[in-house]
Amino acid sequence: MPVTKDGTAYDFTGPEQAPVVVLIHGLGLTRSSTWGTIATGLAERYRVLTYDLLGHGDTAVPRGPVSLTALSAQLIALLDTLDISQAALVGFSLGGMINRRCAMDHPDRVSALVILNSPHDRGADQQRIVEDRARGTASGGPEAGINVTLARWFTEGFRRHHSDRVADIRETVLKNDHANYAAHRQVLASGVTELIAPSPPITSPMLVMTSENDSGSTPAMSHAIVAETPGAEICIVPHLQHLGLIEQPALFSEPVGDFLNRVLT
């Protein structure tokens, strides 16, 4: 398993001369628990880079404070280490906030953006509630409300018929360092405000996707991102919830692959 001098664990697969696609996971997850067949499929045509966020999976816990800027800097440092001048960034949930922050700060390093089930403008009242909830549950660690979280992430049928897969995700989340998880959860809660109506707007080719029944990254939020981004495309996946890309990965990999094939070749 390769690890950078800064402690970021990663995998780099696919044809060596192909365009680079970076896959960025979300809060409490890891590169291996998130991408599965999506990464495998993309690696048939692209050079696919997956990595673990700060303090997640096999990556070292950060020494300094966690912020969207720090998470964007982790990604840029990884690209620099691997001598990658430009890449398409595919981000899920918190990862879809990181790739937008990166595109705002380093537009020349981003060839395209795919934003999957990622939150956006919640409105002032809901934003306060989300931030207060993140602060209030920080002391409980990742196990605080885990059953409610899993019910929000997966459909009832998937939880019933694929309990082993749900148990794997539960175990992955519970392995997280408590303080680091709380810090990233606070970024997920508060960092959205940095991304609303960026000026200048993001100009990279962009695909925004979410699930019809994702209560935290709603279709309305995806439409708002698209409305703020010239030329952006949108795809709403029916019926699924937040972790639809694990529940039915083909419903995500096909539109993502079609989009990348159009904008990167």
With 70 as the cut, is the pLDDT of residue 131 above it?
Answer: yes
Q: Does domain 10-264 have CATH number 1.20.210.10?
A: no
Please tell me the distance from the alpha carbon of residue 6 to that of residue 54, in angstroms, as a whole number: 10
pTM surpassing 0.85?
yes
Across the range 220-238, mean pLDDT stands at 98
Domain limits, the chain: 10-264
d(C-alpha 222, C-alpha 119), whole Å = 8
Give me the percent of the chain exceeding a pLDDT of 90: 94
Q: pLDDT tens digits, residue range 10-20? A: 999 999 999 99
pLDDT confidence of residue 117: 98
What mean pLDDT do residues 41-67 have?
A: 97
Q: Tokens 């380093």, residue?
A: 106
Dist CA 142 CA 133 (whole Å): 13
Q: What mean pLDDT do residues 210-224 have?
A: 98
- Which pLDDT does position 137 carry in this prediction? 67
Q: Which residues make beta-bridge pairs with 211?
A: 237
Higher pLDDT, residue 217 or 63:
217
10-13 vs 47-51, strand pairing mode: antiparallel
For range 146-173, the mean pLDDT: 97
Let me know: does 221 contact 121? Beta carbons within 8 Å.
yes
**Percent of the chain with pLDDT strictly greater than 70:** 100
Q: Which residue has the higher pLDDT, 1 or 253?
A: 253
133 pLDDT more than 90: no
Confidence at residue 141, expressed as pLDDT on a 0 to 100 scale: 82
Q: Is the pLDDT of residue 162 over 80?
A: yes
Whole-number pLDDT of residue 116? 98
pLDDT digits (tens, 9 = 90+) for 243-255: 999 999 999 999 9
Query: Is 92 in a helix, a strand, or coil?
Result: strand
pLDDT of amino acid 145: 85
Residue 77 has pLDDT above 70, yes or no: yes
Q: What is the pLDDT of residue 126?
A: 94
- Supply φ then ψ for residue 55, to 5 degrees: 75, 5
